[in-house]
């Protein structure tokens, strides 16, 4: 038996949420998807996720929401990090921080573990994702053969290094954060699927989902101008994994790029 898992890149504001509302169910049917994971840390106005947008993503067909460094932007989401098992923040934040970084769900009678980690290069100096990742995987192995990691990180070298470090111990490690889909998807020698970044679910003809004009002004003036989500046609970016439920290893990884009708 195989588990077909669709993992979607950072959902950007209203355009990204709309794209999933109108297009995700069709994509699930077309690709015969069993499980949908989406990074939702930018779903509300491009920074953070509000409870209403969290619920909208779940209603659209997302089963697990991962995040990253922007998860703390909307204070009203904090209680949900404690109460909603399917909403994750990176596991390697300091102990005592609200929320959890892993969940285990049942898919076609099999247990699937999802883990969220955050990188440290050009981001906050939180706990080591290598050490925390290794320890977390060891614990999750007792519950599931299938382990999927969303590694929300800036630096490609850090993403690749962690994937090689955990090769054969997890089903897949996919990178998020840069909003730009990379073309290096592959199965590593010991069975772990990898891609440096799965891209974004949001408006494409933009600067990583944000206003082109503001991005240009920021570069020209070096002023900290506020970035706003650009209201343009969106695209659904991500990867589709085919995972062997018996071994926990990935058999295939396919990049997804689907234009939204809105």
Strand partners, 223: none
Catalytic annotation, pick one of 70, 152, 177, 179:
70
Encode pLDDT of 224-253 as tens digits. Answer: 999 899 999 999 999 999 999 999 999 999
Encode pLDDT of 76-118 as tens digits. Answer: 999 999 999 999 999 999 999 999 999 999 999 999 999 999 9
Identify the band that residue 162 occupies on the pLDDT scale cut at 50, 70 and 90: very high
Please state, as a whole number, how many other Cβ atoms lie within 10 Å of the Cβ of residue 81.
17
pLDDT of residue 262 exceeding 90, the answer is: no
CA atoms within 13 A on the CB side of 119: 25
Helix axes 156-166, 129-140, angle to 10 degrees: 30
pLDDT of residue 141 exceeding 90, the answer is: yes
Are 146 and 245 contacting, i.e. CB atoms less than 8 angstroms apart? yes
Backbone dihedral angles phi then psi of residue 190, each to the nearest 5 degrees: -100, 10
Q: What is the pLDDT of residue 120?
A: 97
Q: Where are the domains of the chain?
A: 2-204+236-259
**Is position 70 annotated as part of the catalytic site?**
yes
Mean pLDDT, the chain, integer: 97
Q: What is the pLDDT of residue 261?
A: 84
Q: What is the pLDDT of residue 28?
A: 98
Beta strands in 67-142 (DSSP E): 102-107, 110-118
Encode pLDDT of 171-222 as tens digits. Answer: 999 999 999 999 999 999 999 999 999 999 999 999 999 999 999 999 999 9
Q: What is the pLDDT of residue 145?
A: 97
Q: Which residues contact 244 (CB under 8 A, 6 or more apart)?
A: 1, 2, 250, 251
Q: Is the dihedral of CA 115, 243, 155, 17 positive or negative?
A: negative
Q: Which residues contact 146 (CB under 8 A, 6 or more apart)?
A: 3, 110, 111, 112, 113, 171, 243, 245, 248
- Looking at CATH, the fold of the domain delimited by 2-204+236-259 is given as Purple Acid Phosphatase; chain A, domain 2 (3.60.21)
Task: State the Cα–Cα distance between residues 120 and 128, nearest whole angstrom.
Answer: 7
Q: What is the pLDDT of residue 83?
A: 97
**Stretch 130-151: mean pLDDT:** 97
Strand order in the sheet with 172-176: 102-107, 110-118, 146-152, 172-176, 193-195, 186-187
**Stretch 6-30: mean pLDDT:** 97
Closest residue by Cα to residue 40 from 49, 27, 52? 49
């Amino acid at each position: 038996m195989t588990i077909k898992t669709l993992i979607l890149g950072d959902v950007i504001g209203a355009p990204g949420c709309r794209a999933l509302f109108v297009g995700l169910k069709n994509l699930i049917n077309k690709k015969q998807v069993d499980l949908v994971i989406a990074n939702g840390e930018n779903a509300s106005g491009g920074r953070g996720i509000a409870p209403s947008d969290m619920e909208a993503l779940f209603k659209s067909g997302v089963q697990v929401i991962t995040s990253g460094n922007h998860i703390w932007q909307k204070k009203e989401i904090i209680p949900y990090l404690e109460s909603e098992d399917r909403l994750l923040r990176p596991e390697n934040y300091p102990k005592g921080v609200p929320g959890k970084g892993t969940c285990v769900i049942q898919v076609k009678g099999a247990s699937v573990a999802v883990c969220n980690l955050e990188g440290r290069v050009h981001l906050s100096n939180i706990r080591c994702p290598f050490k925390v990742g290794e320890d977390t995987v060891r614990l999750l192995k007792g519950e599931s053969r299938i382990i999927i990691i969303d590694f929300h990180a800036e630096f490609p070298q850090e993403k690749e290094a962690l994937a090689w470090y955990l090769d054969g111990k997890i089903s897949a490690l996919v990178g998020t954060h840069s909003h730009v889909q990379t073309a290096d998807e592959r199965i590593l020698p010991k069975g772990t699927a990898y891609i440096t970044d799965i891209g974004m679910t949001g408006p494409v003809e933009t600067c990583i989902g944000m206003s082109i004009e503001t991005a240009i002004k920021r570069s020209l003036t070096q002023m900290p101008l506020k970035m706003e989500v650009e209201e343009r046609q969106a695209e659904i970016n991500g990867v589709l994994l085919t995972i062997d439920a018996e071994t926990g290893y990935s058999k295939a990884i396919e990049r997804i790029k689907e234009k939204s009708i809105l």
